[in-house]
Structure 1
Amino acid sequence: MNLIFLALIVIAVATAAIREIRSTDPDEQPMQALSEGAIEAAGSAVELALGLVGVMALFLGLMKIAEAGGLLTVLARLLRPLMVRLFPSVPPEHPAMGAMILNFSANILGLGNAATPFGIRAMQELEKLNPHPGTATNAMALFLAINTSSITLLPTGVIALRASLGSEAPAAILPTTLFATLFATIAGIASALILQRYFLPPPATRSIDPDQTSADGASELDDTMREAGREATEPTQDADPTADTANQQPMNIEVPTEGYPTWVSILVLLGVLAIIPLTILYGQAIAPWIIPGLVVGFLSYGVIRGVPVYEVFVEGAKEGFNVALRIIPYLVAILVAVGMLRESGALGMFVGLVGPLTTPFGLPAEALPMALLRPLSGSGAYGIMAGIMQDPATGPDTHVGILVSTLQGSTETTFYVLAVYFGAIGIKRVRHTLAAALTADAVAVIAAVAIVGFLFL
């Protein structure tokens, strides 16, 4: 992200300087416009973050109720029968299986602050089953391919941002995000399973006793989950601005050793798949009901589960307040860079060159920078998305605004995720992991362009 940020600034200044030198019109002052654009963008970033405080507090308060009510454990039990079949090399009772299940469950609910400790713990346990240390196993590659496909049913962060920017239907991206993330996840799984046949691991350098590692790991899972949470809170080069990384603590959540019957999991999966075409067909009519339905649904779930909903909601709302304030530096940095790029004329030149090539395929040139930056930088992509939706010409409810919202909700910061998870266990040979993850990203972009074009063009 350091190089990307520097490149944006340098390109903006260089473009404005060249225009200033070549200009023969005394009224045209590109460098002055550049300076004013930088200051205006910095102020807009702070205003945007402050406007986001209330909406983030609302959504994180509701998610805290779901978390306290054990919804993660319920999802984990639903996923377990499917996970056992997807990861045949991992013993069903091994701690790695439980950590992966909880990671996916947290991602499904959009709880990135909970998903990271579970993900790091899963990688640590998978490494205990690794017969060739330093090289990614098939299970690791598949786990990260699914992780980077951004499997999510509720993109609360993006919905909150859209609401703060005055969107008439902030939850209108729910059907498009579901559609794109479904295809991305399928592509990630399929590509990981296919590519593992061609990227063979080296000969084993140690023997593994799954029963022994399972027994040892199970006894220390709760103790080391806290350690994984501390590791996840360490500063990184490109933290996701919407993740609660500053106060990230692993939750005291039961790791289920048994799942629901397979037929229950299949029925739930089919139900989710059935929802997608319904939301596509009736998305415009359903959208106004989504946010009130979420509020009532999560509160009712909390009451049924015996959760003190008011106290827990307030606790989660405090986290939402902190998250909204913490993203100010990220937004200032990126929006200033993008604002300078726009005022310098470099962004307009890029749009003019690329637009005729991508627009016929449903990808406007305005959205292309965000699509290209998303796998590299969560903060960068988030800032560009916010800038696009702040611009009156491409507000949150235009085709471009809905497309970038869908891209943000259905894709992941692939290189960051791989760097953090592989770095936690010292993996140097990633084998086919990156190829599978980027395949999922590419499919997510194609699916997002297709569904947004179908519904909103």
Structure 2
Amino acid sequence: MNIVFFVLIAAAFGVAGWRQVTQSPTAAGVPMEALGQAALKSAEGAVTLGLGLIGTMALFLGIMRIAEAGGLMRVLARLLRPLLHRLFPEIPPDHPAMGAMVMNVAANVLGLSNAATPFGVRAMQALDRLNPRKGVATDAMVLFLALNTANVTLLPTHVMALRTAIGSHDPAAVIPTTLFATLWSTGFAILFAKWGARWFPADGAVSSERTDEMADEPVPEEVPPAYPLWVSVLAGVVCLLVIPVTVIWGRVVSPWIIPSMLVGVLGYGLIRRVAVYEAFVEGAKDGLAVSLRILPYLVAILVAVGMFRDSGAMELLIVPLGRLTGALGLPPEALSMAVLRSLSGSASFGYLAALLKDPAIGPDGYLGMLVSTIYGSSETTFYVLAVYFGAAGVKRIRHALLAGLLADLGGTVFSVLICGWLYG
């Protein structure tokens, strides 16, 4: 990300400087002066956006905390466990790895990425206990990472919060498009992770040294009991039926989603005897912390993108790329989002904010919906790989990176398909 940040600003400086020295003397000073003003205005706009994001982020994370306290994550975990047991037949059903994986996937389904990461780290450490070749990723590890980079997402919480803060007329419109893209990309990732195991065998000399200090500690994760298989199958069928419903009647249904979610989650919490007010406040505090934590990243990326755009460098880049990808429904801005999303979550979030704030794009048009869906249907593959495998001391990752990048590619492709159908 250091290189990306520098390249954007350096390219903006170079293009603006070239325009300054080659234009007529009567217009001297305009390009570089405009570049400085772009940096200042972008920084100011980033702070304004970050402050506006605090309320919506607190709202959504407060609601999610009620759902978590009421046991909704455990309900999803019980539904997912039979499926994960069949995807990972080599993992004993009562092993701590299975419990951590179930909770990780359930958190990702609800858009709780902050909660998913600790479960993912625990799962990798527990999976390493079953690893006969320390330092080499097992088939289960590769498949688990692929699931994390293309996890089915029901509630893209952060994207909805950003769209609300920017003033979208329909912040929840991204739910059906993200669900469609992640369902397909997840299936694609599973197939490649399974198929690629034969082409990347876990053999060869490896080090038996352990680099993590927690690997030999017990994983204190309770394994939730599974529902009967027919219940999980029925839930999967219902989830699949949601796709055509949201695709066909999405414009009618989506305005109801956020109000219904507020009433439904609060009612669910009361039924489960959750102190909904206190739980909401605790979640809102997390939302405040998340908003403040990403504010410096917003300033950095919005300044870089603003300078890159106003200098004319983006136009020089967009023209040739647009000829290659525009005909496929993937404008250069969306292609940049897809690449940046795999590299950095905070930077891609800032870039998403910059695009949605652009009056020429906006949050509700085709391009705004496309970049929102791409962000919600892919993951920071390099970050996930580094954190998860680093916790287990894995040095040879086999086809994990390729599986993760192909999962991101699948999310982008299916985002283009669904957004092109609905908004193209």
Q: How many angstroms does 1:255 deviate by?
A: 3.0
Q: Secondary structure at the match of 1:392?
A: coil
* Pair 1:368–1:312, CA change in 2 (3 A): same
User: CA deviation digits over 1:378-436, x for unaligned, max 9?
Assistant: 11211111000001111111111111000111010111110111111221111111111
Partner of 1:180 in structure 2? Answer: 181
The answer to whether the 8 Å contact 1:407/1:445 transfers is: yes
Q: Secondary structure at the match of 1:393?
A: coil
Q: How many angstroms does 1:164 deviate by?
A: 0.6
The answer to whether the 8 Å contact 2:177/2:415 transfers is: yes
Partner of 1:249 in structure 2? Answer: none
TM-score, with length taken from structure 1: 0.89
Q: More displaced, 198-207 or 415-424?
A: 198-207
Partner of 1:370 in structure 2? Answer: 337
Amino acid at match of 1:255: V
* Pair 1:391–1:205, CA change in 2 (3 A): closer
Q: How many angstroms does 1:27 deviate by?
A: 2.3
Q: Secondary structure at the match of 2:137?
A: coil
Q: More displaced, 350-359 or 415-424?
A: 350-359
Alignment of 1:216-231 (within 5 A): 220-222=218-220
User: CA deviation digits over 1:319-346, x for unaligned, max 9?
Assistant: 1122212211000000000011011110
Amino acid at match of 2:263: V
Partner of 1:6 in structure 2? Answer: 6
Partner of 1:120 in structure 2? Answer: 121
State whether structure 2 residue 24 is matched by structure 1 residue 24. yes
Q: How many angstroms does 1:151 deviate by?
A: 2.5
CA separation in 2, counterparts of 1:422 and 1:408?
23
Q: How many angstroms does 1:72 deviate by?
A: 1.2
The answer to whether the 8 Å contact 2:57/2:158 transfers is: yes
User: CA deviation digits over 1:250-303, x for unaligned, max 9?
Assistant: xxxx431x2111111011011101101110010000110000011011101101
Alignment of 1:28-43 (within 5 A): 29-43=30-44
Partner of 1:328 in structure 2? Answer: 295
Partner of 1:134 in structure 2? Answer: 135
State whether structure 2 residue 307 is matched by structure 1 residue 340. yes
State whether structure 2 residue 287 is matched by structure 1 residue 289. no
| Structure 1 unaligned regions, length at least 5 | 208-215, 226-253
CA separation in 1, counterparts of 2:185 and 2:368?
20
State whether structure 2 residue 273 is matched by structure 1 residue 306. yes
Partner of 2:211 in structure 1? Answer: none
CA separation in 2, counterparts of 1:371 and 1:188?
16
Q: How many angstroms does 1:204 deviate by?
A: 9.1
The answer to whether the 8 Å contact 1:135/1:431 transfers is: yes
Partner of 1:245 in structure 2? Answer: none
CA separation in 1, counterparts of 2:44 and 2:356?
16
Partner of 1:72 in structure 2? Answer: 73
Q: Which of 410, 414, 419 is equivalent to 2:386?
A: 419
TM-score, with length taken from structure 2: 0.95
Partner of 1:165 in structure 2? Answer: 166
The answer to whether the 8 Å contact 1:131/1:205 transfers is: no
Q: How many angstroms does 1:220 deviate by?
A: 2.7
CA separation in 2, counterparts of 1:220 and 1:417?
22
Alignment of 1:378-393 (within 5 A): 378-393=345-360
Q: How many angstroms does 1:354 deviate by?
A: 1.1
User: CA deviation digits over 1:13-69, x for unaligned, max 9?
Assistant: 111111112122532521111100000000000000111111111101100000101
Partner of 1:454 in structure 2? Answer: 421
State whether structure 2 residue 223 is matched by structure 1 residue 255. yes
Identity %: 56
User: CA deviation digits over 1:116-163, x for unaligned, max 9?
Assistant: 110000000111111111110000000000101132110011001001
Q: How many angstroms does 1:374 deviate by?
A: 1.0
CA separation in 1, counterparts of 2:238 and 2:26?
65
The answer to whether the 8 Å contact 2:74/2:103 transfers is: yes
The answer to whether the 8 Å contact 2:135/2:206 transfers is: no
Partner of 1:152 in structure 2? Answer: 153
CA separation in 2, counterparts of 1:451 and 1:144?
25
* Pair 1:34–1:70, CA change in 2 (3 A): same
Amino acid at match of 2:346: S
Q: How many angstroms does 1:205 deviate by?
A: 8.2
CA separation in 2, counterparts of 1:361 and 1:444?
15
CA separation in 1, counterparts of 2:387 and 2:218?
22
Partner of 1:360 in structure 2? Answer: 327
CA separation in 2, counterparts of 1:139 and 1:206?
20
CA separation in 2, counterparts of 1:375 and 1:326?
20
CA separation in 1, counterparts of 2:160 and 2:284?
16
CA separation in 2, counterparts of 1:424 and 1:380?
24
Q: Secondary structure at the match of 1:90?
A: coil
CA separation in 2, counterparts of 1:37 and 1:440?
36
Q: How many angstroms does 1:88 deviate by?
A: 1.0
Partner of 1:235 in structure 2? Answer: none
Q: Secondary structure at the match of 1:93?
A: coil
CA separation in 2, counterparts of 1:173 and 1:272?
16
Q: How many angstroms does 1:440 deviate by?
A: 0.9
Amino acid at match of 1:301: Y
Q: Which of 297, 307, 315 is equivalent to 2:282?
A: 315
Partner of 1:230 in structure 2? Answer: none
The number of equivalent residue pairs is 417
CA separation in 2, counterparts of 1:328 and 1:437?
28
Amino acid at match of 2:111: G
The answer to whether the 8 Å contact 1:73/1:255 transfers is: no
User: CA deviation digits over 1:198-220, x for unaligned, max 9?
Assistant: 1111169899xxxxxxxx98x93
CA separation in 1, counterparts of 2:26 and 2:340?
37
CA separation in 1, counterparts of 2:41 and 2:269?
43
CA separation in 2, counterparts of 1:368 and 1:146?
22
CA separation in 1, counterparts of 2:13 and 2:52?
30
CA separation in 1, counterparts of 2:200 and 2:174?
37
| Structure 2 unaligned regions, length at least 5 | 209-214
Amino acid at match of 2:288: F
